[in-house]
Structure 1
Amino acid sequence: MIETAFTPLQSLGGGALIGLAAVLLMAVLGRIMGATGIVAGLLQPAGLADWSWRAATLAGMISGPIAYLLITGQVPALQIPVSTPMLIVGGFLVGIGVTFASGCTSGHGVCGMARLSPRSFAATLTFMLATGITVFVIRHVVGG
């Protein structure tokens, strides 16, 4: 049985940093901080300036474990309780969902809801319901 750790202070801190990053990106560049949109634009940039901010944002997103290592001297503990094929299937399913929703949880859930976008409220509700159902099925029906 998978047990989820209750970490309210770390979760609050992480959420505050994500919110701050989203606000700064909008204030400084006028851009929405949706991770899939940032990566998609990185693969097909409109120009060097467009590629530069996207690359810097992506580098910031993936540098957390490196910063943790430098500060603590330890690699962050990480448990992935599913097989590699399941991760690949999950990645494809997320990609399909992102395509149909025209954005991801960061774009809709953080930025879109803050702008009171009805489409983002609907997308976020759909994401959350699908997540809840998936966790219930995996933990209580399948027995993972």
Structure 2
Amino acid sequence: MIEMDWIWGLIGGLTIGCGGAVYLLGNGRIMGASGIIGGLVDGSGRHEWADRMAFLAALIIAPALVVYFSGSIAQTNLTGNIVMVVLAGLLVGLGTRIGNGCTSGHGVCGISRLSPRGIVATLVYIAAGALIVVALRAMFGGL
């Protein structure tokens, strides 16, 4: 029997992939979360703020619906160190700006379109993430 984590991961991956395809086919744009949200923050996406707000609302509402209908919150291995969580979030935001995209833009949409830039970016951020985890575990003895 397959563990439930595998099934939830498969469902989540299929959902993100289908969402990226629908967004691309419907809007003619890549579904990169950092670019969509970044356009709201820096004002560059003012002319399409309704689409961007709908996307942001869906990012918040969809997990809430899963929790509501399933009756439970998924168990995570997130650290209790809030400083590390905030620092990680800031570094992810900085990385998405430096890399001109995030996992949904480069990893899901870029690779599926066989974009060389998306493939290279995905390989770089996965390698960087792995190195950071190894370094933090060595420095702090675990996360």
TM-score normalised by the chain length of structure 2: 0.84
Cα distance in 1, alignment partners of residues 112 and 37 from structure 2: 22
**1:93 partner SS:** helix
Q: Distance in 2 between matches of 1:70 and 1:98?
A: 31
2:33 maps to a residue whose letter is A
Counterpart CA distance in 1 for 2:27 and 2:91 is 31
Partner of 2:61: 63
Contact 2:79 2:85 in 1 (8 A): no
Give the equivalent residue in structure 1 for 2:6.
Answer: 8
Unaligned runs of 5+ in 2: none
Q: Classify the secondary structure of the residue corresponding to 2:46.
A: coil
Instruction: Return 5+ residue gaps in structure 1 as ranges.
Output: none
Q: In the superposition, relative to structure 1, how do residues 22 and 136 fare at CA in structure 2: closer, same or farther (>3 Å)?
A: same
Match of 2:108, as an amino acid?
A: V
Q: Does 1:80 align with 2:83?
A: no
Alpha-carbon shift at residue 65 of structure 1 (Å)? 3.0
How many residues get paired?
138
Identity %: 38
Deviates more, 1:66-75 or 1:13-22: 66-75
**Offset of residue 42 of structure 1:** 2.1
Query: Residues of 2 paired with 1:76 and 1:125: CA distance?
Result: 28
Equivalent residue for 1:46?
A: 46
Query: 2:89 aligned with 1:91, yes or no?
Result: yes
| Cα deviations by residue, 1:79-124 (Å, 9 ceiling, x for unpaired) | 5314222122212211221122111111000111112111111110
1:18 Cα deviation after fit: 0.1
- After superposition, the CA RMSD in angstroms is 2.1
Of the candidates 22, 25, 28, which is equivalent to residue 23 of structure 2? Answer: 25
Task: Pick one of 130, 133, 136 that aligns with 2:131.
Answer: 133
Return the alpha-carbon distance in structure 2 between the equivalents of residues 72 and 109 of structure 1: 28
Query: Alignment partner of 1:9: what SS?
Result: helix
Moved more, 67-76 or 25-34: 67-76
User: What is the Cα deviation at residue 58 of structure 1?
Assistant: 1.2
Q: Normalized against structure 1, the TM-score is what?
A: 0.84
- Give the structure 2 partner of residue 142 of structure 1: 140
CA deviation map 1:10-34 (0-9, x unaligned):
1111000000000000011111111
